[in-house]
Amino acid sequence: MNTLHKTWDLETIFEGGSESEQLHNYVLKTEQEISKLESLVHSFTSPKNTDQTKELSEVVDQIQLVTKRLGEIGAFISCLNAQNVNDKKAGAWQSRKNELSAAFGNLLTEFDQRLVQTDEDVWKSLLKHTPFRQLDFILDERRKAAKDKLELRQESLINDLGIDGYHAWGQMYDAIVGKLDITHEGKTLSVGQASNLLDSPDRAVRKEVFDKLQNTWKAQTDLFSETLNHLSGFRLQTYKYRGWERVLKEPLEYNRMSEKTLNTMWETITKYKKHYLPYLKRKAHMLGLERLSFYDVEAPVGSTEQTMSFQQGAEFITQQFRSFSPKMADFAEMAFERRWIEAEDRSGKRPGGFCTSFPDSGQTRIFMTYSGTPSNVATLAHELGHAYHQHVMDDLPALNQGYAMNVAETASTFAEMIVSDAAVKHAANDTEKLTLLEDKVQRSIAFFMNIHARFLFETRFYEERKKGVVSAERLNELMVEAQKEAYEDALDEYDPTFWASKLHFHITDVPFYNFPYTFGYLFSMGIYAKALNSDSNFENDYIALLQDTGRMTTEDLAAKHLGVDLEKPEFWEQALDLCMKDLNDFMELSAKQRND
């Protein structure tokens, strides 16, 4: 590989950053395309027979065109915002983009309602016609979703009232959190900064910060129980008017999966939990404790000194990818060489990492801050996995490129697993190896126990909320009950105000922002298990699976490409068995170290 740059190149997309003339013209042209869509949608009448394909295909083509253009604009703006948090111009572009998206959203709602009015038989035969055949799943999904909702005027009213109701409660939550702080060693810290200290290797620090955070959240639980009760109340009222009885209807449909799949997943995980109990005990002893508390579960047991330069990290990742998929390795190499990655460690950048795609130009960009730790290398591999997922979908129709949260993490987790497994194999010594293994087991614990607690809490909370307002005290109780159950009662101290401190319970874009994480993790674990036991065809099978993530249910995806039934335990058991391997390796190595 050539010598790599640590900064990305955005000029090949639009020249001139947030002052870009090209971006300006592109946005203007997109506005014109939205106006064109508007007149197409307004004049579009529900097809009465299958001869009316021309009108429908014009609208669909225009929707796909606007989808791509808005995606391109949105991706560019998020790159500008991330690379320099003080770029005011980029902030202004963001508001402009939000307006365009809102206008586009309204046109889509209107279009979907026209589809509902189409006669069932006409609709079925329309979907068999050439322009729509490859979009049949997505168009039918849109129509069904619109059918389950109220008529256009009522849905518009809900949407409009939601701005100052539903979504406003979510924003109120953010506003209250923004005002909270704690003092630690004489310094004032935001709750976000303080939470980072919960990973401290020093238990006294963890305990002190945890207690202070508890006090801070507890002092405000009355406000947070207001935000949570109103937000969920708005959601439940909307469901009631739409005639939706199950709270899980929306999140399951959004993730294109069945309740049976979800239940089978949790049941199988629960059966495997007992294997993690000796690990929690061992970890407690390694930290000099009798039992772990909530704030010890993610504490580090050792440290890794081995670091890799960006160049070394890039070469290591590409090399590991190659043993599973030469195409994925070639893609990664191209992304590095064409400067699709922003990795420089400098101030003024947004924290965290992401991957964003430019659907019009068929490019992607990865954002992160790379300082050479094993976790940086894993993050880089993770984001390259996302980029590769997009890459294999580039030539598909825009409407077939939208995949849900539960499969969104498939390619990324898969890529990350390849690299973190290789890191364990290449560890310099046993201490290093143990730290890396522990990191992997800890990830499983987060998906199987922590996320499970969130899911249990949220389901139970919604059931109680249907009967009326749930008090702050009761929310604390529900949270601790859920945590005790999810962690098999293995911890000493729990986190009663977790429902207040975890943003995910208060976001309004997607309800139940929890189980898709666990699903995605185990789903890619299952694919990884297949890759390890598979012949040379794996690469193409894998690509075909990724390409279908935006156009079928999760059950169909798994049946078609993995030959498994997600509603039965076998697939989940196979994935969990792979997690057991890391667990056993950790237990053996840590026992050996204790005897040395």
Residues near Zn ion (CB under 5 A): 412
CA–CA separation, 61 and 1 (whole Å): 40
CA–CA separation, 297 and 177 (whole Å): 24
CB 252 within 8 Å of CB 532: no
**Residue 367: phi, psi to the nearest 5?**
-125, 130
Minimum CB separation of residue 520 from Zn ion in Å reads 8
189 or 522: whose CB is closer to Zn ion?
522
283 or 386: whose CB is closer to Zn ion?
386
CA–CA separation, 221 and 475 (whole Å): 9
412 or 435: whose CB is closer to Zn ion?
412
Minimum CB separation of residue 317 from Zn ion in Å reads 15
CA–CA separation, 190 and 460 (whole Å): 30
Minimum CB separation of residue 416 from Zn ion in Å reads 8
584-588: which pairs have CB atoms within 8 A and are 24 or more residues apart?
585/424, 585/437, 586/279, 586/434, 586/437, 586/438, 586/440, 586/441, 587/278, 587/279, 587/282
CB 275 within 8 Å of CB 282: no
CB 534 within 8 Å of CB 562: no
Minimum CB separation of residue 379 from Zn ion in Å reads 9
Tokens of residue 527, six digits: 């694919």
CA–CA separation, 492 and 415 (whole Å): 35
320 or 412: whose CB is closer to Zn ion?
412
Minimum CB separation of residue 386 from Zn ion in Å reads 6
Question: Which residue number has the CB closest to Zn ion?
Answer: 412
Minimum CB separation of residue 265 from Zn ion in Å reads 19
126 or 522: whose CB is closer to Zn ion?
522
Other beta carbons within 10 Å of 463: 12
369 or 412: whose CB is closer to Zn ion?
412
374 or 516: whose CB is closer to Zn ion?
516
Minimum CB separation of residue 409 from Zn ion in Å reads 5
Burial label, 274 (beta-carbon count in 10 A; 0-12, 13-18, 19+): exposed
Those residues whose C-beta lies under 8 Å from the C-beta of residue 405, and which sit 6 or more positions away, are: 254, 255, 510, 513, 516, 517, 520
Those residues whose C-beta lies under 8 Å from the C-beta of residue 500, and which sit 6 or more positions away, are: 217, 220, 221, 224, 225, 228, 475
487 or 528: whose CB is closer to Zn ion?
528
Minimum CB separation of residue 521 from Zn ion in Å reads 11
CB 417 within 8 Å of CB 528: yes
397 or 516: whose CB is closer to Zn ion?
516
Minimum CB separation of residue 282 from Zn ion in Å reads 29
Q: Which residues pair with 358 in a beta bridge?
A: 363
